[in-house]
Amino acid sequence: MLTVKDLKGIEGKKVLVRVDFNVPHKGSEISDDNRIRAAIPTIQELLNKGARVVLMSHLGKVDWKKLKKGEKTLEDIEGQMKKNDLAIAVEPLKARLKEALGREVKVSFCKSTKGAELKAAVAALEDGSVLLVQNTRYEAGEEKNDPELAKEWASLVDAFVMDAFGSAHRAHASTYGVPEILKGEGKPVAIGFLVEKEVSALSRCVEVKKEDRPYVAILGGLKVTDKIQVIDTLLKKCDYIIIGGAMAYTFRKVLGEKIGSSFLDESALDYAKKCLEEANGRIILPVDSVITDSFEPVEGRKVSVCDGDIPEGFEGVDIGPKSSKKFAEIISKAKMVFWNGPMGVFEQAEFQSGTKAVCEAIRDLKGKAFTVCGGGDSASAVKQFGYKADFSHVSTGGGASLEMIQNDGHLPGIDIIR
Ligand code: AMP
């Protein structure tokens, strides 16, 4: 697979880079520009080689079904995004990009996603300059991988670089259609530095080497059904799977334990039973829980620790101290760890201990094991609690990293570059 470093002879050439600038924002206030900063090394590499860089990204989601008949103009779409507080004036995005690239780089913006205006904006690019294109999702054909749209975008450029890991599990026009066409025309397609790092870390978690054993997976979060495929894959690869979070109660129910009013994924009971049988003791479950009589943080709610059976009227909202200790012991022997999903309702201060205990156990492995946090809520927790630097890799893509694990290292937006 070509990487952006391998691209040669691109001076004066137009290169489309699919980036992930889907930044958290409220109106035009960007609360975190990490995603913009994370794309800079790839953009800079191309600029240093004298390329003309066209950047495309999605930002939020247009609800096409909610637009009335005939309401498909840019103004209609922007109107809807504004109403849902998803619109972002492009100036702040462009300004942050310029700030991150340095003053000397010329950055322009095109408010059209296709047609003569976009064509003219790309044609006006100078060597070593950047054009940021309007939100790709302003085109209804983007998410459908519309061949006409992909053809038009591909016709604008001489090469393609995929650096949007968080969107690589989606075969959209900008992530799949464009590189597919360019590849067919014999033009160079490559991955950027960000995707290269993600692929290298997550591939190691699916192509397990002897020296990476014991390999321990830690899964948490809400629903078993959301993670069935990932559990299946990990059961084949891992030495142990630790299961915490709400997910654990579905497994504990199968074992005949009382779970009170804890979250139960009823439709996954048979699946959980099958997993426990197949795992032959390799699935490790919590032995105690932090329980409460009210999920909502109302004054006077009861919170306590409970071993084994959970009484009626109470629900488990975090793993208890004995479980934290048990999990930490298993983690301490690991040579490789993959973690996805919090151990409890980490959004509430009283139920963070289990998730923090896993962070600490992984921190203690620093320098001794390869440790990966698979994005999503667990990555937010890792950052919030200040453990990001203790991990070998914290993925930027929640959905993408899970799909990459469950599909044995494959994602459409990356396979098309291969
Ligand atoms: P997921 O998206 O499946 O990784 O789920 C993450 C969500 O699961 C977070 O919002 C957590 O608050 C929630 N969660 C984790 N453990 C529990 C629990 N024991 N009870 C209810 N929700 C939980």
- Cα distance between the two ends of the chain: 5
Q: What is the pLDDT of residue 214?
A: 98
Among residues 169, 196, 223, the one where a domain terminates is: 196
Confirm whether 18 is domain-assigned.
yes
Residue 80 has pLDDT above 80, yes or no: no
Does 306 lie in the same domain as 191? no
Average pLDDT, the chain: 93
Does 175 lie in the same domain as 28? yes
Confirm whether 226 is domain-assigned.
yes
Confirm whether 253 is domain-assigned.
yes
Does 120 lie in the same domain as 40? yes
- Can you tell me which atom of ligand 1 is nearest the CA of 346? 12
Does 158 lie in the same domain as 78? yes
Show the tokens assigned to 38.
């994370």
**To the nearest whole percent, how much of the chain has pLDDT over 90?**
81
Confirm whether 411 is domain-assigned.
no
Phi/psi at 89 (nearest 5 deg)? -60, 140
Does 20 lie in the same domain as 113? yes
Locate tokens 């996603």: which residue?
Answer: 113
CATH number of the domain enclosing 288: 3.40.50.1260
- Can you tell me which atom of ligand 1 is nearest the CA of 318? 19
In this prediction the pTM is: 0.90
**Contacts of 265-270 spanning 24+ positions with Cβ under 8 A:** 265/222, 265/223, 265/224, 265/225, 267/225, 268/223, 268/224, 268/225, 268/228
Show the tokens assigned to 69.
């008949």
Distance (Å, whole) CA 7 – CA 220: 40
CB 168 within 8 A of CB 20: no
363 catalytic per annotation: no
Confirm whether 331 is domain-assigned.
yes
Domain that holds residue 103: 4-196
Q: What is the pLDDT of residue 323?
A: 98
Confirm whether 259 is domain-assigned.
yes
Q: What is the mean pLDDT of residues 131-144?
A: 92
* pLDDT band per the 50, 70, 90 thresholds, residue 84: low
Does 125 lie in the same domain as 223? no
Does 400 lie in the same domain as 257? yes
325 catalytic per annotation: no
CA of 172 from ligand 1 middle (Å) equals 29
Q: What is the mean pLDDT of residues 243-267?
A: 96
Does 226 lie in the same domain as 167? no
> 277 or 87: whose pLDDT is higher?
277
Confirm whether 416 is domain-assigned.
no
Q: What is the pLDDT of residue 87?
A: 59
Count of domains in the chain? 2
CA of 68 from ligand 1 middle (Å) equals 36
376 catalytic per annotation: yes
Among residues 196, 222, 243, the one where a domain terminates is: 196
Confirm whether 203 is domain-assigned.
no
Among residues 174, 196, 218, the one where a domain terminates is: 196
Residue 39 has pLDDT above 90, yes or no: yes
**pLDDT one-digit tens code per residue, 282-299:** 999 999 999 999 999 999
